[in-house]
Amino acid sequence: MTLSAPQKSNKSLILVSVLVVIVAIYGASQFNRLGQTDYLEVRDYQGVRLSSVNDFRENSIRGPQEVDIPDYRLEIFGLVESPIEYSYYEVLENFTSYKKVVTLNCVEGWRATVLWEGVRIMDLVEAANPYENAEIIIFHAEDGYTTSLPVDYIRENELILAYKINEVPLPEERGFPFQLVAESKWGYKWCRWVTGLEFSDDSDYEGYWEQRGYSNTGDMDDSFWGN
């Protein structure tokens, strides 16, 4: 059957409508958990060529976590005078943000150099008044993962909890709402889906991978096996 001109026009309109629906569905899928559309990912920053958000491999212990932002609280506890907690938006709105280009090196042999944006950990914990005998911070994640780092190292390197990567809000697979940026440390120290910062005097504390033979220091200058 040969279509008349009006029929061809109607068919074209139908095809366009279908395409519009597909694009709309795809666009909706690109909304992050904050109800915002994805930002445009930057691939260059101050002359540094950046890896893509998609260059990371999924290697978490229980798969990407879904964090319910209305109920989310970042807890600061342990050896502190005043335990506190923050909502996601309190962190973003009440603390100065910082940007860093840092390379994550995974023990699996891959790496990614990206622009991280977030808040300094020592700014977050200041109001909790950590005790002087607190030697480490244990990072707790939504999936039960833990790791730790010395307080002095965190302070001296001005470590951040990142909520953006390459100017894009952290995707779920990258640790939304917050990922620790542990520069000069192996990737297993870069805790994702951070829910708590626990001050402790147990310098021998072992997190998830440390209990399985990985180095407790996690220094890039050394092997990730053993201490």
Query: What pLDDT is attached to residue 18?
Result: 36
Does the structure show a pLDDT above 80 at 12?
A: no
Residue 220 in domain: no
Q: Strands of 34-123 (E only): list them.
A: 44-45, 48-49, 74-78, 84-86, 97-105, 111-120
For 178-224, what is each residue's pLDDT tens digit? 999 999 999 999 999 999 999 999 999 999 999 999 999 999 998 89
Average of per-residue pLDDT across 165-180 = 96
**Claim to verify: residue 6 and residue 69 sit in the same structural domain:** no
Contact 114, 122 (CB under 8 A): no
Does the structure show a pLDDT above 60 at 38?
A: no
**Claim to verify: residue 67 and residue 164 sit in the same structural domain:** yes
**Claim to verify: residue 70 and residue 7 sit in the same structural domain:** no
**Claim to verify: residue 113 and residue 185 sit in the same structural domain:** yes
Residue 166 in domain: yes
**Claim to verify: residue 192 and residue 161 sit in the same structural domain:** yes
The total number of structural domains that make up the chain: 2
For 116-166, what is each residue's pLDDT tens digit? 999 999 999 999 999 999 999 999 999 999 999 999 999 999 999 999 999
Query: What pLDDT is attached to residue 34?
Result: 57
Residue 107 in domain: yes
Question: Closest Cα partner for 60 from 212, 214, 215, 187?
Answer: 187
What does pTM read for this prediction?
0.83
**Claim to verify: residue 161 and residue 191 sit in the same structural domain:** yes
Query: What pLDDT is attached to residue 29?
Result: 36
Higher per-residue pLDDT: 29 or 202: 202
| SS3 call for 81 | coil
**Claim to verify: residue 81 and residue 187 sit in the same structural domain:** yes
Does the structure show a pLDDT above 90 at 17?
A: no
Percent helix, strand, coil in the chain (nearest 5)?
Answer: 25, 30, 45
Contact 156, 205 (CB under 8 A): no
**Claim to verify: residue 2 and residue 65 sit in the same structural domain:** no
Query: What pLDDT is attached to residue 226?
Result: 73
- Give every CB contact of residue 98 below 8 A, 6+ residues apart in sequence: 117, 118, 119, 120, 158, 160
Contact 27, 83 (CB under 8 A): no
**Claim to verify: residue 93 and residue 6 sit in the same structural domain:** no
Query: What pLDDT is attached to residue 33?
Result: 52
Q: Round to whole Å and give the CA distance between 187 and 139.
A: 14
Average of per-residue pLDDT across 9-20 = 42
Residue 226 in domain: no
Residue 126 in domain: yes
For 44-88, what is each residue's pLDDT tens digit? 999 999 999 999 999 999 999 999 999 999 999 999 999 999 999
Which CATH number does the domain housing residue 159 bear? 3.90.420.10
Pairing relationship of beta strands 146-150 and 136-141 according to DSSP bridges: antiparallel
Query: What pLDDT is attached to residue 227?
Result: 64
Average of per-residue pLDDT across 107-115 = 96
**Claim to verify: residue 60 and residue 130 sit in the same structural domain:** yes
**Claim to verify: residue 59 and residue 15 sit in the same structural domain:** no
Domain extent at residue 6: 1-30
